[in-house]
Amino acid sequence: MSATLSPPSFWILTALVGARRHGYEILSETTHASAGRMSLKVTTLYSALERLEREGLIAADGDEIVNGRARRYYVLTDHGTAALTAQVDALEADARIARARLAAARQSFAFGAARFA
């Protein structure tokens, strides 16, 4: 997987890990899992779901009518799991690099400040 997932796609796939969910559940779970950093609009969600399904990252997994409203359920595919795993690995690698640079900068700053004290 070389393509980077957009933040909405990342959180939608994350919401589907291990669970079959319908749209409203996906909206709620993305907000919850991201600690409120990702709050999708309904239009954003459904356009992303269509695209992710077209790309084979998710699959529709049945429809049902509840209280007169249609619900379509989605699941993560193997391809979606691989894409999410690759994205998580890349984010972790990026975070390691940033942490190492921040630590080095703090040490340099501490060393420089100590020389002038």
Tens digits of residue pLDDT in 43-101: 999 999 999 999 999 999 998 998 888 899 999 999 999 999 999 999 999 999 999 99
Would residue 12 count as lying in a domain?
yes
Q: Is residue 111 part of a domain?
A: no
> Which domain range does residue 49 map to?
7-88
Q: What is the pTM of this model?
A: 0.85
Tokens of 78: 């193997």
The structural domain count of the chain equals 1
Distance, in Å, from the CA atom of 89 to the CA atom of 97, rounded to the nearest integer, reads 13
User: Which residues in 67-82 are b (16+ Cβ under 10 Å) and which e?
Assistant: eeeeeebbbbbeebee
In the predicted structure, residue 1 carries a pLDDT above the cut 50: no
Q: From the CB of residue 13, how many other CB atoms can be counted at a distance below 10 Å? A: 25
Tell me the H-state helices in the chain.
Answer: 7-16, 23-33, 42-54, 78-115
Using one digit for the tens of pLDDT, what is the confidence trace for 24-33?
Answer: 999 999 999 9
Question: Is there a domain that residue 2 lies in?
Answer: no
**pLDDT of 37 over the 60 cut:** yes
Tell me, yes or no, whether 107 lies in a domain: no
The answer as to whether 29 is a domain residue is: yes
pLDDT of residue 66: 86
Which CATH number goes with the domain that contains 25? 1.10.10.10
